[in-house]
């Protein structure tokens, strides 16, 4: 009966992250693997959702107000003009926004460039749309853009480039610099490709770094599709409210796909999104401040137990650390031991590398830690790590 | 390598120097420059296949594909004659998404002698754009994927907009204007307050999966594994999309019964399937056994059934399901069963085809919370299938939405454990509403077809003299002030549905009575 599966779905594999999660659960480990918070969502947002349910806003709906607010934010944050009536598509999470974008723009045989390391969801999506994912390796240890490799990855069939700065799919937390974005933008214009961005961590950026969307660079707005969501900004990853923002014709195509895939995002949470998106500036600044503190705490802990943290993440909630030089285990074995002995779970880095674009031994030297956890959790993890690692 | 293009269809002359819209077909390739006049200027570049890929199959969209097609026919071409010099400066309109204006396109014409006669070929040159190649001019127009070729604006949106404009009572949209039960809403509120707001497990919150299993067991007698055989999705819509994308290969044959819910055709075209349709005809919309037998063959991958059926209200009988089952077993065909209205079964007993002998192992049974609990905006659905089929649809689901709304899943597990009295009351309420609508439609002069399930009723509108269903629905909105849905959109061949429209009774009684009054007063038979 396996023959009954579509060829495409047979090409996909089970997620290594899920397996580690199950092991972690069984051992009752502190979970620094999965990228969702263990602290509560902001009260004003939860209240809005509760009020919506109670007010009978529970049937299929499209809440235009979300698009209006997003258009305002695009103008404020990126000086970009989008039409709230036509340029936004509200989806079930950034996951669906991305899937709908791919299904709307990628045809059989189209190539899509993805920067490596990257998590597998992008690849699966592209394959199922009949496309061909092409990995462009970033150069360790700082994960810089290798312009030569990048330009050589383009062919006549390249349709799009996926930009996963700040995304959970980019485990390194690296953010492309303005210069790198300009190179990517110039290439997109010259080769007439689309840029599909995943900006779910747009409000979780650190130090002096301000989130820069490639769409704001010259000539990029007409060829960029921005996807994002409420999930990380408002700690409601389980609500499934996301969106795609694109030039009208492309947005219309994405909307057509979305309507056939899920038809509508959960109605009460769309209402709550209105409250969320109208949060005062203090909310966003304290969100940043909290996460910076958590990041610094975790970096300190990891460095002190022997990890090599080359790259201080400038955005997102992950640290991609290289195993201590003295450690001879592979990433998977190390993570398993860490779960069993120290009771702390993380993600082995090899799942993020593809092909032989990077040195094989290099690929098994990284571990990803998440710091989107409460301070108590991080302190507990700190204690456990110190007692077991780096002896 | 140079690609030569042949014009397949001549259009009318549109004026001096203007080429009429034409279809272009890549048909030969050469790599010797002797065949080709040198480029008109250093700023001209030979265009490759992009926009000119409208071959008969509409599938050539990439240079390599075009070259392959070209190479296969190049063997036909013998020594071409020396091409004439550049002779045409033209405006070429190659269907809607690639339009070029003069003078940026030049073509060189040549005559090629082949075994079957001579062909006129064109080499097309485009003026390079200042900052890049000629490609941008082409690609920007074919940004959107081919799978959207079949997508039309949904009729529901159009009708809704008209309805608002004319203040009409909406009996078109298939969702209630009353809300769900308090105990379910309170469960969702509690879940939000309890902090159940983060990612749920991709295949569903365990509590909900087991509630689904319990319910399925009660309804069908089957025992299934909540971990391996149940997948929670964002509504039944996503269950359908995940099933198609996870289990259907491009080119697979899938059978649908018309009229069908509009997302079936769209998702099947996304999966690039070949659709075969069997039409259900009034008055009883029964399945024609002969048509079924001739449709199902060894090439069939799956049959999609929707029971109780939207829009006709038909419920597949045991005999019909057994027919379908035996053909499926004989030809090794899968069944995708959309059973969202299973609790709105009024005149007959709902039977899940998965419960028939030999069928569970080849069936995906899909359902949702929305219709049964009047919470259509929550988007909680599920697919029940044996492990090998579940695996495929879970793969697609994991990239389509990754996971489903967490607090609503918790509430759904409470909902599905509702006592039998909930379902009995639901049925009683809907039966009362149905009576109001059906009596009213008959009194107003429609030919009403019996509906055994769902909250839809199909009627024949021809007594009122309109040409077709869309005209009738517009007339109904503007002159009578009531919305119905024209059913021609639910058929592959719209002609088959032009006499029929669909009304819904998932509205409160006052609304239904008001709509019925309007129709009795204002509808005039012709």
Q: What is the pLDDT of residues B332-365, one digit of tens each?
A: 999 999 999 999 999 999 999 999 999 999 999 9
Binding-face residues of B in 130-149 toward A, CB within 8 A: 131-132, 135-136, 139-140, 143-148
Q: Say whether A277 sits in a helix, a strand or coil.
A: helix
Binding-face residues of A in 333-372 toward B, CB within 8 A: none
CA A4 to chain centre: 32
For chain B, the maximum distance between any two Cα atoms, rounded to a whole number of angstroms, is 86
Which tens digits make up the pLDDT trace of B374-414?
999 999 999 999 998 998 899 889 889 989 999 999 999 99
Looking at residue B130, what is its pLDDT?
36
Which tens digits make up the pLDDT trace of A321-363?
999 888 888 888 889 888 888 899 998 888 788 765 556 677 7
**Nearest Cα residue in chain A from B59:** A108
Residue in the block written with tokens 């002797």: B34
Q: Is B339 in contact with B351 (CB distance < 8 Å)?
A: no
| Cβ contact, residue pair B245, A256, below 8 Å | no
Answer whether A158 touches B (CB < 8 Å).
Answer: no
Which residues are B54's β-sheet partners? none
Other beta carbons less than 10 A from residue A380's beta carbon = 15
Which of the listed ranges A92-101, B148-157, B268-277 does the model predict with the highest average pLDDT? A92-101
What is the dihedral angle through the alpha carbons of A92, A95, A96, A100, rounded to the nearest 10 degrees?
160
Q: Quote the pTM value.
A: 0.79
ipTM higher than the 0.90 cut:
no
Give me the sign of the Cα torsion angle B195, B201, B206, B208: positive
Q: Residue A378: in which H helix or E strand, if any?
A: helix A375-388
**Residue A316 pLDDT > 50, yes or no?**
yes
Mean pLDDT of all residues belonging to chain A:
87
Q: Which positions ≥6 away from B34 have C-beta within 8 Å?
A: none
Q: How many helices (H) and strands (E) does chain A have?
A: 14, 12
Dihedral pair phi/psi, residue B118, rounded to 5°: -100, 150
Q: Say whether A255 sits in a helix, a strand or coil.
A: helix
Q: Is B148 in contact with B269 (CB distance < 8 Å)?
A: no
Helix ranges restricted to H, B167-296: 182-193, 206-220, 235-247, 262-270, 289-295
Which tens digits make up the pLDDT trace of B423-460?
999 999 999 999 999 999 999 999 999 999 999 999 99
| Cβ contact, residue pair A266, B144, below 8 Å | no
Q: CA–CA separation, A185 vs B242, rounded Å?
A: 34
Q: How close B44 comes to chain A (CA, Å)?
A: 17
Other beta carbons less than 10 A from residue B460's beta carbon = 16
Answer whether B238 touches A (CB < 8 Å).
Answer: yes
Q: Locate A194 and state its tokens.
A: 């689309």
Q: How close A32 comes to chain B (CA, Å)?
A: 15
SS3 helix, strand, coil % of chain B, rounded to 5? 40, 20, 40
Q: Residue A132: in which H helix or E strand, if any?
A: strand A132-137
A·B CB contacts under 8 A: 244
For chain A, the maximum distance between any two Cα atoms, rounded to a whole number of angstroms, is 60
Which of A59, A249, A261 minimises the CB distance to B400? A261
**Nearest Cα residue in chain B from A13:** B395
**Nearest Cα residue in chain A from B149:** A253
Q: Locate B397 and state its tokens.
A: 């689901």
Chain B CB contacts of A46 under 8 Å are 192-193, 197
Binding-face residues of B in 256-275 toward A, CB within 8 A: 263, 266-267, 270-272
SS3 helix, strand, coil % of chain A, rounded to 5? 45, 15, 40
The residue of A2, A6, A125, A222 whose CB has the most chain B CBs within 10 angstroms, and thus the best one to mutate to test that interface, is A6
Which of B143, B195, B379 minimises the CB distance to A266? B379
Q: Which domains does chain B have, with CATH numbers?
A: 2-130 (no CATH), 155-173+421-522 (3.90.1150.10), 182-418 (3.40.640.10)
Q: Which pairs from B100-109 meet CB under 8 Å and 24+ separation?
A: B100/B126, B100/B137, B102/B17, B103/B127, B104/B137, B106/B40, B106/B44, B108/B36, B108/B37, B108/B83, B108/B84, B109/B83, B109/B84
Which of A53, A107, A128 minimises the CB distance to B245? A128
pLDDT band at B163; cut points 50, 70, 90: confident
Q: Say whether B374 sits in a helix, a strand or coil.
A: coil
Q: How close B498 comes to chain A (CA, Å)?
A: 24
Q: Residue B158: in which H helix or E strand, if any?
A: helix B155-166
Is the preceding omega at residue A55 within 30 degrees of 0, hence cis?
no
pLDDT band at A168; cut points 50, 70, 90: low
Helix ranges restricted to H, B312-405: 318-331, 370-373, 387-400
Q: CA–CA separation, B456 vs A302, rounded Å?
A: 62
Q: CA–CA separation, B185 vs B368, rounded Å?
A: 16
Looking at residue B305, what is its pLDDT?
97
Q: Is B341 in contact with B354 (CB distance < 8 Å)?
A: no
pLDDT, mean of residues A124-137: 89
Binding-face residues of A in 93-112 toward B, CB within 8 A: 93, 95-96, 99, 103-110
| Cβ contact, residue pair A269, B234, below 8 Å | no
Which tens digits make up the pLDDT trace of B109-129?
555 444 555 555 555 555 443
**Residue B135 pLDDT > 60, yes or no?**
no
pLDDT, mean of residues A23-35: 85
Q: CA–CA separation, B174 vs B156, rounded Å?
A: 9
Mean pLDDT of all residues belonging to chain B:
78
| Cβ contact, residue pair B407, A238, below 8 Å | yes
CA angle B521, B525, B526 (to 5 degrees): 140
Chain B CB contacts of A18 under 8 Å are 202
């Amino acid at each position: 009966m396996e023959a009954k599966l579509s060829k495409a779905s047979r090409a996909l594999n089970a997620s290594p992250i899920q397996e580690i999660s199950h092991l972690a659960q069984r051992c009752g480990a502190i979970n620094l693997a999965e990228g969702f918070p263990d602290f509560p969502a902001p009260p004003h947002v939860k209240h809005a959702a509760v009020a919506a349910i109670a007010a009978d806003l529970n049937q299929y709906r499209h809440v235009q107000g979300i698009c209006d607010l997003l258009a305002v934010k695009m103008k404020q944050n990126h000086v970009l003009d989008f039409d709230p009536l036509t340029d936004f598509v509200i989806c079930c999470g950034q996951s669906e926004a991305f899937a709908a974008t791919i299904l709307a723009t990628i045809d059989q045989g189209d190539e899509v460039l993805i920067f490596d390391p990257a998590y597998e969801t992008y690849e699966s999506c592209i394959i199922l749309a009949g496309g061909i994912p092409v990995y462009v390796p970033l150069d360790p240890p700082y994960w810089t853009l290798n312009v030569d490799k990048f330009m050589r990855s383009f062919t006549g069939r390249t349709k799009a480039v996926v930009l996963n700065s700040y995304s959970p799919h980019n485990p390194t937390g690296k953010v492309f610099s303005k210069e790198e974005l300009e190179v990517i933008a110039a290439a997109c214009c010259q080769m007439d490709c689309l840029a599909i961005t995943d900006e779910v961590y747009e409000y979780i950026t650190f130090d002096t770094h301000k989130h820069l969307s490639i769409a704001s660079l010259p000539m990029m707005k007409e060829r960029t599709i921005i996807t994002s969501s409420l999930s990380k900004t408002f700690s409601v990853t389980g609500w499934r409210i996301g969106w795609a923002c694109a030039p009208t014709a492309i947005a219309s195509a994405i909307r057509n796909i979305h309507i056939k895939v899920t038809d509508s995002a959960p109605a009460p949470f769309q209402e709550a999104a209105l409250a969320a998106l109208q949060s005062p500036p203090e909310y966003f600044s304290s969100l940043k401040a909290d996460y910076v503190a958590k990041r610094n705490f975790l970096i300190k802990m990891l460095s002190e137990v022997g990890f090599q943290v080359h790259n201080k993440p400038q955005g997102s909630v992950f640290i991609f650390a290289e195993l201590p030089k003295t450690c001879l285990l592979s990433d998977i074995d190390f993570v398993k031991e860490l779960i069993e002995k120290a009771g702390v779970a993380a993600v082995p880095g090899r799942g993020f590398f593809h092909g032989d674009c990077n040195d094989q031994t290099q690929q098994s030297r990284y571990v990803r830690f998440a710091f989107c956890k409460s301070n108590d959790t991080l302190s507990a993890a700190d204690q456990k790590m110190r007692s077991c690692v780096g002896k | 390598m140079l690609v030569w293009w042949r014009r397949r269809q001549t259009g009318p002359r549109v004026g001096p120097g203007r080429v009429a819209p034409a279809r272009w077909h890549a048909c030969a390739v050469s790599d010797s420059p002797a065949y080709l006049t040198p480029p008109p200027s250093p700023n001209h570049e030979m265009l490759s296949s992009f926009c000119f890929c409208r071959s008969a199959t509409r599938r050539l969209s990439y240079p390599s594909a075009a070259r392959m097609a070209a190479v296969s026919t190049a063997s036909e071409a013998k020594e071409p004659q020396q091409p004439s010099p550049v002779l045409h400066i033209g405006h070429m309109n190659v269907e809607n998404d690639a339009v070029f204006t003069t003078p940026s396109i030049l073509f060189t014409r040549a005559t090629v002698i082949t075994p079957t006669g001579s062909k006129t070929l064109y080499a097309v040159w485009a003026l390079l754009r200042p900052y890049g190649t000629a490609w941008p001019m082409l690609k920007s127009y074919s940004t959107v994927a081919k799978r959207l070729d079949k997508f039309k604006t949904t009729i529901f949106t159009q009708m809704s907009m008209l309805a608002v404009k004319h203040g009409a009572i909406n009996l078109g949209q298939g969702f209630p204007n009353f809300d769900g039960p308090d105990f379910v809403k309170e469960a969702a509120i509690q879940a939000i307050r309890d902090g159940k707001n983060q990612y749920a497990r991709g295949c569903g919150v365990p509590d909900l999966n087991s509630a689904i299993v319990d319910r399925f067991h009660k309804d069908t007698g089957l025992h299934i594994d909540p971990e391996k055989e149940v997948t929670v999705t964002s509504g039944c819509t996503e269950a359908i999309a995940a099933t198609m994308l996870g289990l259907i290969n491009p080119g697979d044959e899938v059978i649908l019964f018309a009229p069908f819910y509009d997302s079936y055709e769209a998702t099947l075209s996304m999966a690039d399937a070949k659709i075969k349709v069997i039409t259900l005809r009034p008055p009883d919309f029964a399945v024609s056994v002969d048509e079924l037998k001739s449709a199902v063959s060894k090439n069939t991958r799956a049959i999609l059934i929707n029971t109780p059926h939207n829009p006709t209200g038909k419920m597949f009988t045991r005999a019909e399901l057994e027919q379908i089952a035996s053909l499926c077993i004989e030809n090794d065909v899968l069944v995708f069963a959309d059973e969202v209205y299973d609790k709105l079964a009024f005149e007959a007993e709902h039977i899940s085809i998965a419960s028939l002998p030999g069928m569970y192992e080849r069936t995906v049974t899909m359902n949702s919370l929305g219709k049964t609990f009047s919470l259509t905006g929550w988007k909680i659905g599920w697919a029940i299938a044996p492990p090998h089929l579940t695996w495929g649809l879970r793969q697609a689901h994991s990239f389509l939405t990754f996971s489903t709304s967490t607090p609503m899943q918790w509430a759904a597990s409470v909902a599905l454990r509702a006592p039998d009295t909930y379902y009995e009351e639901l049925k009683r309420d809907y039966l009362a509403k149905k009576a109001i609508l059906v009596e009213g439609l008959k009194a107003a002069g429609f030919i009403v077809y019996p509906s055994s399930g769902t909250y839809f009723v199909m009627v024949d509108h021809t007594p009122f003299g309109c040409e077709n269903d869309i005209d009738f629905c517009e007339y109904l909105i503007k002159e009578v002030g009531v919305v119905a849905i024209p059913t021609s959109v639910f058929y592959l061949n719209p002609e088959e549905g032009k006499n029929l429209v669909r009304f819904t009774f998932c509205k409160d009684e006052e609304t239904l009575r008001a709509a019925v009054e309007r129709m009795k007063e204002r509808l005039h038979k012709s």
